[in-house]
Chain A
Amino acid sequence: MPGMQEYVQQPLLSGLRDRASYVRRIAVLGCAKVHRLQGDAEVDGALVNELYSLLRDQDPIVVVNCLRALEEILKKEGGVVINKPIAHHLLNRMADLDQWGQSEVLAFLLRYRPRSEEELFNILSLLDGYLKSSSPSVVMAATKLFLVLAREYPHVQADVLVRVKGPLLAACTSESRELCFTALCHVRQILSSLPGHFSSHYKKFFCSYSEPHYIKCQKMEVLCELVNDENVQQVLEELKGYCTDISVELAQGAISAIGSIARTYTEQCVGILTELLGLQQEHITSAVVQAFRDLVWLCPQCTDAVCQALPGCEDIIQDSEGKQALIWLLGAHGEKVPNAPYVLEDFVENVKTEVFPAVKMELLTALVRLFLSRPAECQDMLGRLLYHCIEEEKDMSVRDRGLFYYRLLQSGVDEVKRVLCSPKSDPSLGLLEDQTEQPVNTWASEFNTLAPIYGKARWALVTAHQPGEPCYAFSPCTDSGNRGTGSLISEGSKEVLKVHPDTGSLTLIPDVVLTAEQFEKTWLSLDISCQQSLPWVGTVHPDTIQTALHVVHIQTIAMSKAGVQPWKAYFTAQDDSGCLFLTELLLEAEDSGMQVAVKQSEAKPEALQAFMSVFRTAVGAVAGLRS
C-alpha cells in the first residue's frame, strides 16, 4: 500500500519526541521498518540526524534501538558511524543496559578505532568489568572487542584469553547443552592459536555419560588438541574408555581421535589400538585398521608394530572402509606380514561375492604391489584376479583398472616397479600438519560469530552458497572453447596460460630446486601473505594439478594421495628477482572449495597478485576440465 507511507510519516516523527520511553523505543525501530518498506528510497538526512541525537536519550533501550535503526537505514553507506564522542558516550551508558543491550553495543564498538594508545587502554580498562559478567554473551562480546582493539598488542590479547578461561570453562560445563556446545566450539578456536591454553584443565573436557553425541564429539576434538606430555596418559586412558561405548559412532570417533594423537605419541597409542583389536568387535577392528593406515603414512617408525597387529583382523572386518584399509596395508607393507599373501588370497577367492567396487580396486593394486616383493606366492592368484576383473567383472572402473595392470605387467617388471613403488610414507606431511598455529588476529574478527560453530570447512561451504558474496568464478580458457577438452592439458590451453595478460609483470623461473626440508623450514618461518578459496567440485586428481602447475613453472613439493580427505598439497615457485612463493592447497571436503594459502619470502604485493592470478588460472583450468 504505497499511500500508507505518508500517513505513517507524521505519527512516527511525533513518536520520536513522545514523553513515554515505550513509545520512543517503538518509533525508533519504526523508522527502520518504514525504510525497509520503501526499498531503495533516498535516505532522509533530517531523520538520520534526529536518530543520532536520540543516542543521548534517557532510556537505555531507546539508545540501543537507535543504533540498530541507524545501522539498517545507513546500510548502503556502511552502517552507523561510531566516532569518538559517540563511542565514549556509549561506553558511559553501558552500565544502564541489560545483557542484550550490552552485547549489542560491544559489537557496535568494534568499529571504533581509538586515536592513541592512551585512549585505547582507557577504553580497555572501562570494559574490564564486562569480562566478569554473569552472562556468557556479554563476556564473549567483551572478549572479542578486546581482541580486536588490541590487535597490535599480543600480550594484551594473551592476557584476555587467560582471563576469559574461567567463564568459558563454566559455559563448557553448563547445564544447557546448546550453550555448552557453543562454548566448546570457541574453545577449539582459541586452541588453534594457543595449543597449550586449556591443557591444565583437560579434565573439564572429559565426556559425561548423559551428554548428546555432538557434544561428546566436540569434547574429543578438544582433547586431541590440548594433549601434552603431562596429560597424555590420562587423556588416552579416558579416550580408551569411550572406545568400548555402546554407540558405534562414538567408539569409532574415539579410535580415530587416538589415531590422531598417535602422530605425536606414537608408541603409547599404537599399544592401545593393538589392545583394542583383542576385543574382536567388528566396528572397533575396522576403525583401528583405518587409523593404522593413516598413521603408517605419517609415522613410518610404527610400521613394524602395526604389521604385527594385523593378522587375524581379516575375519572380523566387514565394511568397505575397513577392508580397503586392511588391503592397502597388506599391499604396501606385505613383506613384513608373513601371511599377507594368504589373507589376500582369501579376498581373491571371495571376489565374486564382494559388493564394494572400491574394495576390488584396492585389492588389485595391493596384489600387484605384493607381487613385486613376493612374486612366487602371488603369481597364481594375481592371474586369477586379473582374469576375473577383465572377463567377469561388471563394474567398468574395476575392469579398466584390471586391464591397466594387465598391460602394465606386459611391459615388464621394471616398468611396473617404476610406476608402483612410490614412497610408502610421507613424514613431512605430518610435520607440516602439526605446525598450524594461527595468530590470534586471523580469527579475532570471526570470534563470537557463527564461523567457529560450523568450523572452517563447513563455514566456507555455507558462505559460498550465499548470494551476493563475491565468489571467484573462473571460466577457464574461454577463448579456447572450440578446442577439445579431451586431453588433460592441450597444447592450446598451455599457450593461453602463458600469454595470460596478468603474468606480464611476473616471470617464474623453471626448475627451481628446493628440497622438502628446505621448503618446510621456509614455510614455518613465514606468515601467510594471501589466502583465497577457489571453486572446486568433486575429488582431486593430483597428477592433473601437478602437470597443470608444472606448465606454469610451479613445482610440486608434496601431495596427498587421490581421494584422501582432507586433501593437501604444497608447491613452490620463484620469480626472476629471487622471491619465493610457497603455496598450500587444501580441500577439506568435497564441494567445500579449494583453500589456497600463499607465503612469500619477500613482501611484494604486485608480484603476489600476479602469482595468484597465474595460480588461479592453472587450477581453474583443471577445475574447468573436470566439470
Chain B
Amino acid sequence: MISQLFILSSKGDRLVYRNFRGDGGDDVTDAFYRAVTSLPGDQAPVFMAREGQHFVHVRHGGLYVGATTTADTSPFVLVEFLNRLVTLLREHCGTLSEKSVSVNVALVQELLGEMVDFGYVQTTATEVLRSATHGEPETTKAFSLLDLRSVGLFGAETQQSRVAPGSVTNRPVLPPRGEQGGRREVFVDVVERLTVVIAANGTPLKVDVQGEIRLKSFVPGACELRMGLTEELSVGTEEQCGYGRLPLAAVAFHSSVDLEEFEQERVLRVTPGPGEVTLMRYQLAEDVAVPLPFRLLPSVEWEPAGRLRIHLKLRCDLPPKNHAINVVLQLPLPREASSLAQELSSPEQTAELQGGGRSLRWAIPRCQGGAQLGAVFRVQLPPTPPLGLGPAALTFELPALTVSGLRLRWLRLSAPPGAPPGPPQRWVRHLTHSDSYVVRL
C-alpha cells in the first residue's frame, strides 16, 4: 500500500506530490529529503524508517521518485512499481528530468490518479492509461550543438544520417491527439551488459553477460511483430552445448510474448501497443568463453623518489569493422599524486588526475577494432611502498555488437487493418556496454 507518492529534484524541491490516503503531514517530502541527505554511511538509503512510516525511493536522472508505505508491503512490489512509474513517465514526457516533469505536472498527476487509487495500484499498462488520460505532453528540447551533426555535408547522405541517433527515442510514445500519423516507428534494442574481472596474469576470473531485448513502439494501435533470434540459442540445460551453440543460463519473457515458435524456430511473436516493453531478459551461461573486447598490458616501474612510471598498452580485440566508443580507464593510485606527465598516442585522448589525485583517468573517445593504444604516465607520489596500485576499471560502449553473439536475424511487422499505407519504420539496434570491467594489476 502506498500512502504518499512524490518526485523531488536533486536539490529536494517538490515537483510532484500526491497523498492517496489523506494521512500524514504535508512535510513528508522535506522529512524525506532531510533523511536521505543526512543518512549515516552504514545505512542504505533505499528504504528508510520514520515514525512508523517507511520511505522507499528510486533514483533516476537525478530525481528522487519516492513513496511512503506501511511495514507489511512487499519491498519488491514497491521498487518494481516505482521503476515502472519511471518508465511510464519517460514514455509520456519523452525524457525524465527536472524540467520535463515540471512542465508536465498536470499530465503526471492525471497519470498517478489513474494508476493508484486509495494507495492501491490499479493498472500500469500504457494503452489503458492512454485511454483514461486527456493531458497532452509538452516536450522539452534542449538546444545542443551536437544536433548540427545531423546536417548533411554538402547534401550528401552521410553514415550519420542513416543511423537512428540515440535521441529519437526520447519523445513521447503517442502522437498528439487529432494528428494522424506522426512518425510510425518501431525500435527493437538488444542491449547487453558486461561484467568482467580479469586477473593480473590476464586470465578472466569472472565474465557475466546480461542481456535484454527491448521494444519501443511508436505505432498507434496494435500490430503483430515477429522477430527471429539467432538459431544457435539453447536455453538452460535442455541440450548439451555443442560447438558454436549459444547457451543461456536463464531466460525470462514478458507475459505478452507468444512463444509458440520459440522452441523450434527461435521466433518471438508479440502484439505490442504503443510504449516500451522488455520482451526478454537473458543471462549467458557462466562457462561460455566470450571474446573479451579489451586487453590491458601494464608495466609499472617504481622509482625510489616516489616517482611512478606506468606504461599501459590497451589492445582492442574487436573485429576490425566494429569499434568502441567512450572508453574510459580509471586507475586508482596508492597515494595522492601531486603531478602527472603523460604521453598519449593521439590528440583526441585525454588524461587527468581525479579525486584529489587519488586516481588517474584516461579517456579515449573512439577505438577501432584491432587497434592497440599505448600511453605512458609519470606520476609524482609521496614516498610510498611499492604496493597498492589498481585495479584498473574500464568503461565503454560497443555499438552494433553483442558480445554473446545473440542477434535479431529479422523483424517483420504486419500492420492492422485500416492503418495508413506503407509499413512503419523499423529500427534494430545492438549495443553492449560495460557494467564493470576490472583488470587487476
Q: List B contacts of A175 (CB < 8 A).
A: 193
> What's the minimum C-beta distance from B27 to chain A, rounded to whole angstroms?
18
In A281-296, which residues have CB < 8 Å from any B CB?
281
- Chain B residues with CB under 8 Å of A209's CB are 330, 393, 395, 436-438
Out of A99, A185, A279, A453, which one reaches B385, CB within 8 Å? A279
Q: Which residues of B contact A502 (CB under 8 A)?
A: none
Q: Which 5 A-B pairs have the closest CB atoms?
A: A208-B436, A214-B44, A137-B76, A209-B393, A134-B252
Contact of A26 among B21, B56, B117 (CB under 8 A): B117
CB distance A450 to B73 under 8 Å? yes
| A498 in the interface (beta carbon within 8 A) | no
Residues 269 to 309 of chain A near chain B (Cβ within 8 Å): 278-281
- Are B80 and A136 neighbours in the complex by a CB distance under 8 Å? yes
In the complex, A166 Cα to B283 Cα: how many Å?
10
The answer to whether B118 and A182 have CB atoms under 8 Å apart is no
10 more A-B residue pairs beyond the given contacts A104-B77, A244-B388, with a C-beta to C-beta distance below 8 A: A29-B117, A61-B122, A98-B123, A137-B80, A182-B46, A203-B208, A208-B435, A214-B43, A281-B388, A453-B44
The answer to whether B332 and A176 touch across the interface, beta carbons within 8 angstroms, is no
B26 to chain A, nearest CB (A): 19
Residue of B21, B252, B391 near A132 (CB, 8 A) is B252
Say whether B378 faces chain A, with CB atoms less than 8 Å apart. no
- Nearest-neighbour CB distance to chain A for B335, whole angstroms, equals 8
Q: Assuming the A-B contacts A206-B197, A209-B330, are A465 and B80 also in contact, with contact meaning beta carbons closer than 8 angstroms in the complex? A: no
Which residue of A is nearest B384, CB measured?
Answer: A280
| A32 at interface, CB cutoff 8 A | yes
* Cβ contact of B253, chosen from A22, A134, A182, A217, cutoff 8 A: A134
B181 to chain A, nearest CB (A): 29
Answer yes or no: B290 CB below 8 A from chain A CBs.
Answer: no
Interface string of A210-230 (1 = CB under 8 A from B): 110111011000000000000
Cβ-closest chain A residue relative to B332: A246
* Residue of A with least CB distance to B80: A137
Taking CB atoms, residues of chain B closer than 8 Å to A280 are 384-385
Contact indicator A234/B205 (Cβ below 8 Å): yes
Q: How far is the CB of A381 from chain B (nearest CB, A)?
A: 32
Contact string against B for A residues 591-624, beta-carbon threshold 8 Å, 1 for contact and 0 otherwise: 0000000000000000000000000000000000
A278 and B330 alpha carbons, distance in the complex (Å): 24
B159 located at the interface, meaning its Cβ lies under 8 Å from any Cβ of chain A in the complex: no
Q: List 25 A-B contacts (CB under 8 A).
A: A26-B117, A98-B123, A100-B77, A134-B255, A135-B80, A141-B76, A141-B77, A170-B210, A173-B195, A178-B58, A179-B79, A203-B205, A203-B206, A203-B286, A208-B438, A214-B43, A214-B46, A217-B42, A241-B440, A278-B385, A279-B387, A281-B388, A449-B71, A450-B72, A466-B71
| Known contacts A132-B252, A466-B52; A214/B123 CB under 8 A | no
A456-B124 Cα distance, complex, nearest whole Å = 34
Q: Is A24 located at the chain interface by the 8 A CB criterion?
A: no
Report if A134-B393 is in contact (Cβ < 8 Å); known contacts: A246-B358, A249-B41: no
Q: Which residue of A lies closest to B81 (CB)?
A: A100
> 8 Å CB contacts to B: which residues of A84-112?
98-100, 103-104, 107
Minimum Cβ distance to chain A for residue B182 (Å) = 28
User: What number of A-B contacts does a CB cutoff of 8 Å give?
Assistant: 186
Query: Is A448 positioned at the interface, with any CB of B under 8 Å from its CB?
Result: yes
Q: Which of A25, A211, A278 contacts B122 (CB 8 A)?
A: A25
- Over the window 403-441 of chain B, the binary record of Cβ atoms lying under 8 Å from chain A Cβ atoms (1 yes, 0 no) is 000000000000000000000000000000001111010
A454 and B79 in contact, given A279-B388, A466-B52 (Cβ under 8 angstroms): no
Whether B252 pairs with A170 at a CB distance below 8 angstroms is: yes
Query: A33's contact among B58, B118, B125, B435, by CB below 8 Å, is which?
Result: B118
Interface residues of B in 231-289 (CB under 8 A from A): 249-250, 252-255, 278, 281, 283, 286
Q: Is A467 an interface residue (CB 8 A)?
A: yes
Q: Which residues 69-85 of B have a CB within 8 angstroms of A?
A: 71-77, 79-83
Q: Which residues of A contact B210 (CB under 8 A)?
A: 170, 173
Contact B120 A29 (CB under 8 A): yes
Whether a CB of chain B sits under 8 angstroms from the CB of A167 is yes
User: Within 8 Å CB of A181, what residues of B?
Assistant: 44, 46
A158 CB–B CB distance under 8 Å: no
Alpha-carbon separation in the docked complex, A453 to B440 (Å): 32
* Residue of A with least CB distance to B77: A137
- The verdict on A141 contacting B436 (CB below 8 Å), with A166-B250, A178-B82 known, is no
Asked if A417 is at the interface of the complex by the 8 Å CB criterion, the answer is: no
Cα distance, A134 to B117, chains bound together (Å):
25
Smallest beta-carbon distance A293→chain B, Å: 20
User: Is B49 engaged at the interface, CB distance under 8 Å to the other chain?
Assistant: yes
Against B, the Cβ 8 Å flags (1 = close, 0 = not) of A182-194 are: 1101000000000
Complex-state Cα separation, A207 to B391, whole angstroms: 13
User: In the complex, which of the residues A36, A234, A448 contacts B74, with contact meaning CB atoms closer than 8 Å?
Assistant: A448
With A25-B117, A137-B77 already in contact, the answer to whether A278 and B387 are too (CB < 8 A) is: yes
Decide if B334 touches A453 in the complex (CB within 8 Å).
no
On chain B, the residues within 8 Å of A100 by CB distance are 77, 81, 121, 124
